[in-house]
Structure 1
Amino acid sequence: MDHSVQSLLIGLDVGGSSTELLAVEHHPQRSPVRLVGPGANLQRVGFEQTVAVLQEVIERALRHFPEASVLSVCAGIAGCGRPKDQELLARRLQQVLGDGGRSVQVRVVHDAEIALEAAFKGDSGVVVVAGTGSVILARTRQGQIEVVGGWGYLLGDEGSGFAIARAGLQAVTHAMDGGPPTRLRELLAERFLLSERDALIHRVYQEHWPLQEFAPVVLEAARDGDPIAQQIVEDQVARLVEQVSWLLGRLKGEVAPRMALAGGLMNEPFYVSCLREQLVRRWPGWSIEVQQQRPVEGALRLARRLLKANVGSECDD
């Protein structure tokens, strides 16, 4: 490979709430660049908005590397599990990023796949992802990727921030109607100035409030001992664990006995405690740990492999 060519590796973790970018030169001359942008779940915001979000954050990164003439980009995108969607997005990004005469290669995968790569570096294992949405991925010992969940907020996303928030808001509406009292009602009024029925309905249905914003409040109430909030978290975690059991039952021992926990909810101690407790009880002999390496690191690894595949063997992992 000609070392005079300035090659830039870019990894992106594109979730429902935010996008994280990590960019580094193939032969590093300067520090990596980390940036954060808006979220862009493909199924929620659509094709054009997803492209716009990615283009904007990538172009911000390129200002730090103006000499880069070769780009190798991997984007793990929430809501982008269909190969056809991945191909269309990759082609469009390649087109818009190559307008300046650069050589551009783009690979698009589901965001859970970059978490799997970050956790196990291409080896077998299971990753449980719970953030705004939820999905479970496994790589078998033969290298095949299997998925459970990832159906989105209307059909699934059990154990996710969206599901926890929705259940929390439902508990508030029940309390308003005379059902069991919960501190969630008081916290909703304090944090979001929503204490009346009409105001809550308007915020949700007319202003299209991102419900996942209420999830940290539900987790805080659970941590502080509110029984309704605790039951919500435990129920949602149980649904996620049930999906893990479906996946492992399907694979029948064809996956290494290790599990990584990834996604934004893994920053919430009460949630992680509930999840690990239930998983360890079901699979006591497994290694079950919160993922230490961020999923965007997995995207960067895949970007490096993409560069290697296109320019030769000097681009080792």
Structure 2
Amino acid sequence: MAASAQLVIGIDGGASNTVAVLADARTGATLGRGEGGPSNIQATGVESALRELNAAVVEAFKAAGRHREPVAAAALGLAGVDRAEGLEVIRGWADLVQLADKITIANDATLLFAAGTPEGWGLAVIAGTGSIAFTLDARGNDARAGGWGYLMGDEGSAFRIGLLGLRAACRAADNIGERTTLLPTYLKALGSDDPREFIPAVYRGKWDKAAIAALAPLVLTAATSGDATATAIFEQEARELALTAAGAVAAGGLSRENVPVALAGGLIRESEMFRNRFLHELRGCGVSPGPVGLVDDPVVGGVVLARRLLVQ
């Protein structure tokens, strides 16, 4: 076999970072792993997204100790490519850099089905900085709900929970509503004893979207300790994420019984409490989850999909 025919690449690109894995086409074994910054073309712009995609591929080859060359197949799961123009932009880049002989490009959730469900179909839910739910049936038909971004949606995401906690802290600072430990907790995180310092932190960029999302564990910890305000936020957002997931199931026409579920994103993977509450609320929405897979590394699904291209 030519060198390129021995290799495949899986790429997972989202709002936080981009990961590329160079793997052996025969075995799927990882040969090199590279990382770049965000590659969601809707959030960061085309130029920046393509630069980070390229950087991740370059680093994967470097980590494998190989010169960059076209590979046999590549599977890209990228946030922000649901519209036709997004797909064309990425395909144009892949052709320009001669990424692979065979290529598939889809939303990053497609990687979750390959990596987190027994037969490659079911319900995939991402709850990290943002949130979205997808379904894929056994015939390859897909549907989605959520994914509207932090201004219009992202219910059940780390950003949403962190933001609602911040709002609650501000109201508490004004002596409005219930007292909550979120006020002193957020002030400690900021390194200040003045609630008015929240204003420059947020509006001048110290607490950007990622930083606010990173505050979500503080809300969950406060809920665990019995804080009523934090508990209400936690329960509300788990419910909202379940509603989003149930909406995707309805849109995709999947059976509501014994649905395989793949879960990804730092919030839902790392917080067992939030994950269990979400699954409880999902049942309350009339969707009975079957096997539940936690996807620690979605890019593994990219390697699986790339290898499948070689036998099609």
- 1:114 counterpart (81, 106, 111): 111
Structure 1 unaligned regions, length at least 5:
none
Give the Cα separation in 2 of the matches to 1:62 and 1:123.
Answer: 28
Say whether 1:202 aligns with 2:200.
Answer: yes
CA distance in 2, matches of 1:29, 1:248: 31
Contact 2:264 2:296 in 1 (8 A): no
Contact (CA 8 Å) 2:39, 2:78: kept in 1 or not? Answer: yes
Q: 2:190 maps to what in 1?
A: 192
Task: Note if contact 2:74-2:104 (Cα within 8 Å) is conserved in structure 1.
Answer: yes
Which residue does the alignment assign to 1:178? 175
Find 1:147's aligned residue among 134, 144, 147: 144
Segment drifting more, 270-279 vs 17-26: 17-26
Give a deviation string over 1:146-178, Cα, whole Å, max 9, x none. Answer: 111111111111101111111111111111111
Maintained 8 Å contact 1:13/1:19: yes
In the alignment, structure 2 segments of 5+ residues that lack a partner are: none
Contact 2:156–2:238 under 8 Å retained in 1? yes
Aligned length: 304
Partner of 1:165: 162
2:150 and 2:4 map into 1 onto residues whose CA distance is 44
TM normalised by structure 1 equals 0.84
Sequence identity percentage = 27
Counterpart among 238, 263, 273 of residue 270 in structure 1: 273
Q: Do the aligned partners of residues 253 and 198 (structure 1) sit closer, same or farther apart at CA in structure 2, a change above 3 Å counting? A: closer
Q: Is the 8 A contact 2:28 2:304 kept in 1?
A: no
1:24-69 deviations in Å (ceiling 9; x for gaps) = 1224698533344433333221111111111112111111242453
SS, match of residue 218 in structure 1 = helix
SS in 2 for 1:135: strand
| Amino acid in structure 2 at the alignment position of 1:79 | G
Post-superposition shift, 1:93? 3.7
- Inter-partner Cα distance in structure 2 for 1:215 and 1:301: 32
Using structure 2 for the length normalisation, give the TM-score. Answer: 0.86
Look up the equivalent residue of 2:265 and give its one-letter code: G
| Counterpart residue number, 1:234 | 235
Deviates more, 1:11-20 or 1:284-293: 284-293
CA distance in structure 2 between the aligned counterparts of 1:77 and 1:246, rounded to whole angstroms: 22
User: Corresponding residue for 2:44?
Assistant: 45
When structure 1 is superposed on structure 2, of 287-296 and 78-87 the one drifting more is 287-296
CA distance in 2, matches of 1:303, 1:32: 15
1:289 aligns with 2:292: yes
- Residue 27 of structure 2 corresponds to residue 25 of structure 1: no
2:135–2:142 Cα contact (<8 Å) kept: yes
